[in-house]
Chains A and B, each alone.
Chain A
């Protein structure tokens, strides 16, 4: 009896609740019909400022213009830090939840996310008539699809201070071409009391640059790196230890600033920028900054000296550096692609160049707008030479705990090339054991793009 009473009470309560809810539900539904659809929001995990100063400001301007042109789409920019760029996206990919658009460094950081199913192919949403204008797309092409959009190009030649060259008795108009000429120049500069080469490697990136720029001359193609990653060859082989020996020679000869191990990559440019060091690896945009600060007549650039005799020794090191991706979980892939294309409109490309000095990765960028001889020289190398950036071809784990650690071992003087190469190889071995799927993709990639 009591049970029946309770059931009746519950029934009345439910009916009352539904009665209360129904008007509000009806209103809600009416609201949907009465008001136009609210704008959708694209969340964009953006990174570029560390590469090209002024990129964040350009992006904010680009978003404002895009939203004006497309009132039904809003773009929310979430600026990412360098340290967490990969790990943040990996966490989002694991949860299959996060941004609609995101930046990652080119090639492996992009392709590994594509292999993990975290990306939608850009080429599925952007027509070929558009992507054919984009430069360096080969860096992110896999399985016949494009997985990341290039925005700007970065070439890294050697920049030198002509005044310091002159002071050391070197011809400022005849920079070194070969490795022996380079070392001879270093010796003369050192004898004149000048730091020959400026670099920072506390964070390991200086070493990774040294490998990508100098070490590539020992290799015949990027496949050599892929083979070592999958274990068909080894990072202890001479083709991978040559750069470590070269770096050690420079350290032991006192050709690199003595605080190399306590400065990170960016601070490592300091001695050059302050006019204390004669040479440094530097990006196009940074070089233009030095030219502005120190006077263009005092700044020169030359192609990285060749030390090895591999086929890549004649290649340059231009890369798109970072790439823009559409996530697989985004419900707004088409709108995300529209924003990507908007970034490549001629007006936005010109603004990117004007505001950052970075060369846009698009053949629609008006090259004739560039009059400055230094800029023309840099751009001719970026666009005219075949290029590869080796660091893009190793998984993050092998990059951080492999080539970067190997370089740190040399610059901190805690070991020689053999020890450093063994650390690199050991990391690669560990990666192979713990990444069976990655290993499969890498093995299938050999003989593929680039």
Chain B
């Protein structure tokens, strides 16, 4: 039962607090807001202000030194620009690397976990590309992938002339070639990530599965993959995030060419903002991209929410 004295005490304390507030102790009421003020300011400076500025810029055209208000003209230009849509398609194509990376990383992680002969050397070799600078990798692969470069010379030497293609000079191969370099570099990250998680999985789980007669594939499917699920999810998000930032690879390896064959959104935005001094177009592309990403994210959340509710 509630102690009446305590009730009175607490009521008195509440009254006293309310009086203090009423008596003009506004400071006390504002204290929580003051605590969050630095964070609000930082968010405002880092996120809100740039967004407002970008929006403002997206409604203007900066010609020779002067800004002019153009309403939604920049959005119309971006929306009807085939190069923008080519960039969107190329970014989407690059996302194909995500499942490839997940599968290959898993495979290498499992092989290293099972300590195949020379696994320590393989582990180093697989991880090495990940610590190399992208510009270095891009430059080296730019040379390797030349039509008469070392790769094709080797292929021709093996009488595989049909496979000696113009990897970066052919409009149909430029994006897949860049994708292959991204996969080669990022594979090390995925492998080490999965391997680290695998090493913390209890050995008994694998042993129990084997004792129950599970073959190698069944062990991987029923033990390894479920145990790595959270790490796999993290890796997928990381890679999708990374795939939207492939500017360095494109800039060094293809400069968006041949023609517009390997345009990506980052390159499109950079080129308009800095090479062509079309800040309005670049800003409109940024906001269109942002709105699209938010829309996809919300749709994903709604679907996920629906799925959870169904469960």
A sample of 23 inter-chain contacts (CB < 8 A) reads A86-B275, A87-B274, A116-B65, A117-B65, A204-B257, A258-B147, A259-B146, A259-B147, A262-B148, A263-B146, A400-B276, A401-B260, A405-B257, A409-B258, A409-B259, A412-B170, A414-B171, A414-B172, A414-B259, A426-B82, A430-B77, A434-B280, A435-B63
- Kindly state the interface size class of chain B when it binds its partner: 35 or more
Residues of B within 8 A of A400 (CB): 271, 275-276
Given A117-B64, A202-B169, decide whether A414 and B275 contact each other with a Cβ distance below 8 A. no
Residues of A within 8 A of B171 (CB): 412-414
- Assess the A405–B64 pair: CB atoms within 8 A: no
How far, in whole Å, are A414 and B73 apart by their CA atoms in the complex? 31
- Assess the B68–A436 pair: CB atoms within 8 A: yes
Residues of A within 8 A of B147 (CB): 258-259, 261-263
A113 nearest CB neighbor, chain B only: B64
CB-based A-B contact count at 8 angstroms = 118
Residues of B within 8 A of A262 (CB): 145-149, 166-169
B257 nearest CB neighbor, chain A only: A408
- Assess the A397–B258 pair: CB atoms within 8 A: no
Interface check A64, CB cutoff 8 A: no
- Which residue of the partner chain, among A87, A411, A437, contacts B66 with CB atoms under 8 Å? A437
- Assess the A405–B260 pair: CB atoms within 8 A: yes
Interface check B248, CB cutoff 8 A: no
Residues of B within 8 A of A94 (CB): 62, 277
Residues of A within 8 A of B258 (CB): 202, 261, 408-409, 411-412, 414
How far, in whole Å, are A430 and B76 apart by their CA atoms in the complex? 11
Write out, one digit per residue, whether chain A residues 397-428 have a CB within 8 A of any chain B CB (1) or not (0). Answer: 10011000100110111110000000100100
Question: Considering residues A118, A435, A441, which has the most beta carbons from chain B within 10 angstroms of its beta carbon?
Answer: A435
Residues of A within 8 A of B149 (CB): 262
Interface check A90, CB cutoff 8 A: yes
- Assess the B170–A261 pair: CB atoms within 8 A: yes
**How far apart are A450's CB and chain B's nearest CB, in angstroms?**
21
- Assess the A433–B170 pair: CB atoms within 8 A: no
Residues of B within 8 A of A441 (CB): 64
- Assess the A115–B257 pair: CB atoms within 8 A: no
- Assess the B259–A412 pair: CB atoms within 8 A: yes
Residues of B within 8 A of A435 (CB): 61, 63-64
Minimum-distance CB pairs A-B, first 6: A261-B169, A412-B258, A259-B147, A414-B171, A437-B63, A262-B169
Interface check A438, CB cutoff 8 A: yes
- Assess the A405–B280 pair: CB atoms within 8 A: no
Residues of A within 8 A of B276 (CB): 396-397, 400-401
Residues of B within 8 A of A93 (CB): 65
Interface check B191, CB cutoff 8 A: no
Question: Considering residues B61, B62, B147, B168, which has the most beta carbons from chain A within 10 angstroms of its beta carbon?
Answer: B147
- Assess the A414–B63 pair: CB atoms within 8 A: no
Residues of B within 8 A of A87 (CB): 274-275
Question: Considering residues B169, B172, B260, which has the most beta carbons from chain A within 10 angstroms of its beta carbon?
Answer: B169
Residues of A within 8 A of B170 (CB): 261, 412-414
Residues of B within 8 A of A408 (CB): 257-259
Interface check A260, CB cutoff 8 A: yes
Residues of B within 8 A of A204 (CB): 255, 257
Given A86-B275, A408-B257, decide whether A401 and B83 contact each other with a Cβ distance below 8 A. yes
Write out, one digit per residue, whether chain B residues 54-65 have a CB within 8 A of any chain A CB (1) or not (0). Answer: 000000011111
How far, in whole Å, are A203 and B258 apart by their CA atoms in the complex? 8
- Assess the B148–A259 pair: CB atoms within 8 A: yes
- Assess the A438–B64 pair: CB atoms within 8 A: yes
Interface check B278, CB cutoff 8 A: yes
Write out, one digit per residue, whether chain A residues 241-262 have a CB within 8 A of any chain B CB (1) or not (0). Answer: 0000000000000000011111
**How far apart are A81's CB and chain B's nearest CB, in angstroms?**
12
Interface check B281, CB cutoff 8 A: yes
Interface check A341, CB cutoff 8 A: no
Interface check A40, CB cutoff 8 A: no
Residues of A within 8 A of B254 (CB): 202
Question: Considering residues B171, B254, B259, which has the most beta carbons from chain A within 10 angstroms of its beta carbon?
Answer: B259
How far, in whole Å, are A204 and B66 apart by their CA atoms in the complex? 31
How far, in whole Å, are A94 and B168 apart by their CA atoms in the complex? 35
